[in-house]
Amino acid sequence: MPKVDLEALEQTNTTGYPPPFDEPVAGRWQRKVAEAAGLTQLGARHVVLEPGAWSSQRHWHEGEDEFLVMLEGEAVLVEDDGRTLLKAGDMAAWPKGVRNGHHLVNESAAPCRFVAFGGGKNSGGAYSDIDMQFDADGRYLHKDGTPY
């Protein structure tokens, strides 16, 4: 039965970010909804952001497209060119290779919920505001290539 049973899926706030970059995402609770359903051709994470939490460090992907659907609550989308409030029902899309770092920040007093989709092949990317990039194997490196 292809309806996703969200409550049955493990929810985790773990991250591979090295300290102190892990702190802003401690209130990000994720479930891998596409993987749990056996999908292999696209990724989808159901995410709950507690008040104050970030969806990620501000980043972009070299080889992967991203698409986000807000389900409940609101968060501020932060990019190079400013801030945009996203509310329930809003959508946002980021084509691969566009080096305009983005993330969501829950500046409200209530949790927000969204689904984040990814398609394509990871070939690395970088973080706009900190000395960090990731490679095609998902490893975190300084921008000079030194591993964390």
Measured CA to CA, the distance from residue 54 to residue 142 in angstroms comes to 21
- Is there binding between residue 76 and a copy of itself (CB under 8 A)? no
Which one of 27, 32, 107, 118 is in contact with a copy of itself (CB under 8 A)?
Answer: 118
SS3 category, 148: coil
Which of left, alpha, beta for 87 (phi over 0: left; psi -120 to 50: alpha)? beta
- Is there binding between residue 86 and a copy of itself (CB under 8 A)? yes
- Is there binding between residue 38 and a copy of itself (CB under 8 A)? yes
Angstrom distances, CA of residue 3 to CA of 8, 29, 73, 88, 127 = 12, 20, 23, 21, 35
- Is there binding between residue 96 and a copy of itself (CB under 8 A)? yes
Q: Which is nearer to a copy of itself, 25 or 86 (CB)?
A: 86
- Is there binding between residue 41 and a copy of itself (CB under 8 A)? yes
- Name 102's Cβ contacts closer than 8 Å, sequence gap at least 6: 58, 59, 60, 77, 78, 79, 92, 94
Q: Which is nearer to a copy of itself, 14 or 123 (CB)?
A: 123
Which one of 119, 130, 135, 141 is in contact with a copy of itself (CB under 8 A)?
Answer: 119
Element (H, E) at 34: helix 33-36
- Is there binding between residue 29 and a copy of itself (CB under 8 A)? no
Judged by the rule CB under 8 A, the positions of this chain that interact with a copy of itself are: 1-4, 6, 33-34, 37-42, 44, 46, 63-65, 67, 69, 71-72, 77, 79, 81-82, 84, 86, 89-96, 98, 100, 102, 113, 115, 117-120
